[in-house]
Structure formats: C-alpha cells, structure tokens
Chain A
Amino acid sequence: MSALLELEGVDKSFGALKVSDDITFSLPKGQALGIIGPNGAGKSTLFNLIGGTLPVSSGAIRFDGADITRMPASSRCRMGISRSFQIPHPFVGMSVYENLLVASAFGNADHHDAEAACRDILDVTGLLARANRPAGSLTLLERKRLELARALASNPRLLLLDEIAGGLTEGECHDLVGTIQGIRDQGVSIIWIEHIVHALTAVVERLIVIDFGKIVAEGAPDAVMSDPFVQEIYMGISVDDDAA
C-alpha cells in the first residue's frame, strides 16, 4: 500500500519551546490512525502542521507523493486534507447548510449537486433538522457535529479529527463512532486525536503516542495500550508503584 501522508523529521518550535520534535511517520491509504498523549503533548500542533494552519520549523510533509510543506491550508484542503478543530470554529452568522456549502464550493469536492451532497452529509451527521438554522444557535455538541459535517463537505481523502468525541455522552459517543466507521469504510483515511480511548480503538487500526512533542510509542492499539511505558505517561500509572 502506498503512503497517503508522510511526515519526515518534522519540528515545530515556539521560541525555546519545542512542541513537535522530529516527528516521522507515514499513513498508508485507507488507514485509520489514532493519536493519544497527555494534554499539552503537541497533538493539536501536529494537526496544525499537517493541515497547514502553522508552518513547520523544519522537516517535510508529503501528501500523495507531493511535497506540501510550504503549501497554505486552503491548497491542502483542495488536495483532500480536511480537519475538524478541537474548539469548534463554526461560521456563526451562516446557517448550518451554508457552513457546508463553503466547504463544498471551495474544498476538494467535485459535487455536481452540492445541495444533495450537503443534505446527505447533514443526514449522516444528524444535523438535517438544523440545516437552515444559524450555526451560532447550535449547542456545543451540535457544533462538534458541524465540525465533522463541514470537514466531510469538502470531500476529503484524509480526515483529521481533533477530539471530536470529547464531552459527549456514552450514547452520543457510540453514534459518533458508528458515523466515523462509516466514513472509514468508504475509503477515507483518518487521523484521530482522542482522549476517549475505547472510542478510538473501535475505529483505528494503529496508534501513535506523543509526549513532549515526540513519538514515544507506535503500533497496534492493543499492544500500544498494554505497553507499561505508555501506561505510565498516559494513564499516570507508575509501573513501579503497581509492583510495590
């Protein structure tokens, strides 16, 4: 399988603070990859680098074989990289439907019938009943769903999801996992940052653990989660304490 996304030695510093440190990994086409790590580990920064919201300090990013390291976010979106923001950024003055139309009109989408495509996405994400309401009137959970719906409206090949399940109830989380599985099954590659590990492992086939901006573990979800080192940094469980 050829790689859809490749990161090679990606560094990002804010002054003396190194928030991404020599990140190297590649994502095969169609794979769903999970990223976990403590708060402040640099997960969202990594998304900002892949999505193009922030420029890298050094290193290279390739998408579908093309070097996108210096490309602005809008061009990356048109190539097929879509993202949801951890803190929702709805276009508050527009309706929910119009939020999707922007992505459909300017993203990678080749929608012959933008209206029908947006209606389908609103249906899948459970926002159809809200279609003509101002996005500013949505609740937090609806705003999170709008993040997903808007990202889908640009017809991505790679979907970056940033803590999309945070703050959801068990039932809502279950529905969301079903939705994301459906997206994955259509062949969209996914990178998902999430703290809710059971939701993540229900979808992804591979996990990367980040701490202090570095990749500290990588592999199949079961193997990664049972790694004592990961348990220590992520769960705060000290292996030595357990033994004692």
Chain B
Amino acid sequence: MTVTTPTMPAQRTNRIALALRLLLGLVTVALALAPVWAGRADLRLLMEVLSFLALAQMWNLLAGYSGLISIGQQAFVGLGGYLFFALAMFAGVPLLAALPLAALLTALVALPTGWIAFRLQGAYFAIGTWVIAEVFRLSAAQIGALGGGSGISLPVDLARSLAESRGAREVVMYYIAFALGLVSVLLVWMLLRSRWGLALTAIRDSEPAAEAVGVATRKVKFLIYVLTAGVTGLVGGFIFLQKLRITPEAAFSINDWTAFVIFIVVIGGIGTIEGPIIGVIVFFALREVAADWGTWYLIGMGAIAIAVMLIDKRGIWGAVKARYGLSILPVGRVLDAAPPAKPD
C-alpha cells in the first residue's frame, strides 16, 4: 500500500496556500474591474471564460462529488437558453427576470428527467443523459414558434431593454457573467463546508460506506442533479443572451457544453473546487494559442486529456493537492486539541 506523506514542511505549504489565495483574490478584483481595463474583445472572451467556469463547477459537483457522470448537460444549457428566449419574447418577461425564471423552470424539468435517468446506473446513466439531451434537441427543432431547426434571434428592441448603447449592454452582460462565475465557485465552496459537504465528499469517496453511515445517497444525488440543472440552465440562458441567437444545434451541442466542460474539469482536477478554475485557465490559454491550428487543436486537446489520464488521473490540482496537501479554498474540518499530527 502506498502511503502519501507531504514532502514539504507544513509551514511552507501554508505560505504557498496563502500566496495562492491572495492571487485568487487579486484576480477576482481584477475581474470585477474588467470593464475598466479590458477592450471589447477581451471582455467577450472573459464572459465566455466565466460562463465555462460556472458550467465546469456544476459538472464537477455532479460528477466529481456525486459520482453522476452526465454527458448530457447540454440538455440544460439548451433548455435554459430556449426557455429564456421564450419567456422574453412571448411572455414579455423582462430580460433580467427571465434569466432566473428560466433557471427555475429548467430545474423543474430536471425533476422528471432525473426520475428517468436515475433508473440507470454508471455508464447507462451517462448514455441516458445524452439520449435525454438529444430528445430535447430534436424537440426544440420541432417548435415552429422558436424558429424550428433554423433557430431564432432575440429582437433588437428586447436587447436594447438591457441598455441603450452597445457598450453599456456589454458591461451589463459582463457583470452577469462575473456573477455567474463568482457565485458558482462560492456556491460549491459553501455547499462543501456545510453538512451537505460531508455527505457529498463521503459519496465521492465511497458510496456504500456513505449509505451505511446514514447518508441517504439517492436523495442527495437527486437534489444535486436538480440543483446543477438549474444553475446550468441559468448559464445557458446567459450564453444565448450574449449570442442574441439560438439554434437547436448550438443550444444542445455536446461538444461545446459537455465535452469541453469535461475536459476542463478532468485536466484541472475532478473532485476539487480549485480544479475547474485551473482547468478553465488551461482550456482558454490553449484555445487562444491554438486558434489557427484548425482540427489539430481538437486533436491536441484530446492528446492532453489522454496524457493527464495516463500520468495522473486526478488532474493538475488533484495531483498537487495529494502531494503537498495544498488547499486554496479549504473545506476541511479540524479537530482542535487533538495532538498535532506526527510526521512518519
């Protein structure tokens, strides 16, 4: 049996963790001020980064903690997007109210789809979620009022209701994205520090043992499924508000909303809060560098994912955490007055 022991003195680990926390704080402040320093193109890129961060945090909560490997999260991105368009265009709901309402309705739709998907386990669950997403995509293409297969655009006067000038609109949209990214991280962090966190982490590590010590694992997993569906729907609504146009292909794209998100979480470190943050940085850095490579970019990404699996399947942050005991956003509970841990 391998016994992993931190190879760095605790003091140094603490100092590095503190430095990283400070860095994270500075980045957050910089992001909060982005409309001041960033150009229009940069702002758009940041919106995308923050949306993906939120999607990745949700997929990580689902797969990394609850053990629910879904490859059908595009169902909720697309549903959130379409519901948002429908609420704004046909129900006359103001844009900023339509977003949370679309999220709520997405979570409601997740109740029956979850009921179906939860009859399946493991790989069957994964395939089941994908099938559900395909059903959503094909259904969306049938709805004539929403443009059917060719999609629909958000009318200009509706977009104007957000702000009169294009610049001001982008700032409003940026702050929605900023809130999504920030709240997704804080939500997961607070969840993991609560009583729920104990249950989720226990399920992550051993589901039979979690069940045996009294955690109603099925219920917990179902609630997480519905919660992540709601937030994913919220992000979906925002993504298509930003794009101002929605089509079934774009809304229910498994590549964009699930494959890339899985890549981010797996590379960064599944089952950790920090993992998706690191993964999203790696993903977008890679995308910017490889923008002109065409298909080679996807091949390269696949190769990196395979390399991470072979070298250390815990991902970048998972490996760092296991080796050095580092934690930027700590969720652990410490027993006071216990004798200090002896190094051995």
Interface residues of A (CB under 8 A from B): 51-53, 72-75, 77-78, 82-83, 85, 89-95, 97-98, 101-103, 105-108, 115, 118-119, 122, 128-134, 136-137, 139-140, 150-151, 153-154
Contact A93 B5 (CB under 8 A): no
In chain B, positions 169-207 with a C-beta closer than 8 Å to chain A are 195, 198-199, 201-202, 204-206
Q: Closest approach, in angstroms, between the C-beta of B56 and any C-beta of chain A?
A: 19
B341→A91 contact, CB < 8 A: no
Stretch at the interface among B140-148, B240-248, B328-336: B328-336
Asked if A132 contacts B341 (CB within 8 A), the reply is: yes
Given contacts A90-B206, A102-B210, A139-B1, contact A132 B335 (CB under 8 A): yes
Binds A, one of B67-75, B121-129, B211-219: B211-219
Collect the chain B residues with CB atoms within 8 Å of residue A98's CB. 198, 201, 332-333
1/0 per residue B1-34: CB within 8 Å of A? 1011100000000000000000000000000000
Q: Give the residues in chain B near A85, CB-CB below 8 Å.
A: 208-209, 212
Residues of A within 8 A of B210 (CB): 91, 102
Give the nearest-CB partner of A136 in chain B: B4
**Contact status of A77 and B1, CB under 8 A, knowing A72-B218, A93-B201, A101-B333:** no
Task: Please judge, given known A-B contacts A82-B213, A108-B214, whether A90 and B1 are in contact too, CB under 8 Å.
Answer: no
Q: Is the CB of B212 within 8 A of A115?
A: no
CB of B119 within 8 Å of the partner chain: no
**Contacts A51-B212, A106-B215 given; does A94 touch B205 at CB 8 Å:** yes
Q: CB-CB < 8 A to B201: which residues of A?
A: 91, 93-94, 98, 102
Asked whether, in the complex, the Cβ of A102 is within 8 Å of the Cβ of B1, the reply is: no
| Distance to closest chain A CB from B344 (angstroms) | 9
- With A93-B201, A95-B332, A132-B334 in contact, is A106–B214 under 8 Å at CB? yes
Contacts of B325 in A (CB 8 A): 134
Known: A91-B209, A137-B4. 20 other contacts (CB 8 A): A53-B211, A73-B212, A74-B215, A83-B212, A89-B212, A93-B271, A97-B335, A98-B333, A102-B198, A102-B201, A102-B213, A106-B198, A107-B213, A119-B337, A122-B338, A128-B339, A130-B341, A134-B4, A134-B325, A136-B4
A89 to B215, CA, bound (A): 15
Most chain B CB inside 10 Å of its own CB: which residue of A95, A102, A129, A136? A102
Tell whether, in the assembled complex, residue B216 and residue A74 are in contact, meaning their CB atoms are under 8 Å apart.
yes
Q: Which 3 A-B pairs have the closest CB atoms?
A: A106-B214, A89-B209, A107-B214
Write out the residue numbers on chain A whose beta carbons fall within 8 Å of the beta carbon of B212. 51, 53, 73-74, 77, 82-83, 85, 89
- For A93, give the chain B residue with the smallest CB separation: B205
Q: Please give, as numbers and ranges, the residues of chain B lying within 8 Å of A89 by CB-CB distance.
A: 206, 208-209, 212
User: Which residues of the other chain, A, contact B336 by a CB distance below 8 angstroms?
Assistant: 115
Give every chain A residue within 8 A of B337 (Cβ-Cβ). Answer: 119
Would B205 and A90 count as touching, CB distance under 8 A? yes
> Does the CB pair B215–A137 fall under 8 Å?
no
Residues in B with CB closer than 8 Å to A106 are: 198-199, 213-216
- Check A53/B208 contact, CB under 8 A, given A106-B199, A129-B341, A131-B338: yes
Instruction: Tell me whether B214 and A74 are in contact (CB under 8 A).
Output: yes
Are B216 and A105 within 8 A (Cβ)? no
A97 contacts across to B, CB distance below 8 A: 333-335, 338
> Which of A77, A90, A139 contacts B214 (CB under 8 A)?
A77
Residue on A nearest B217 in the bound complex, by CB: A74
What string of 1s and 0s marks CB contacts (under 8 Å) between B307-339 and chain A? 000000000000000000100000011111111
Within the complex, the shortest CB–CB distance from A176 to chain B, in Å, comes to 20
Report Cα–Cα, A166/B69, bound state, in Å. 36
20 contacts between A and B (CB under 8 A): A52-B211, A53-B212, A74-B214, A77-B212, A82-B212, A90-B205, A90-B206, A93-B205, A94-B202, A94-B332, A98-B333, A102-B210, A106-B199, A106-B214, A106-B215, A107-B213, A128-B339, A130-B341, A132-B338, A132-B341
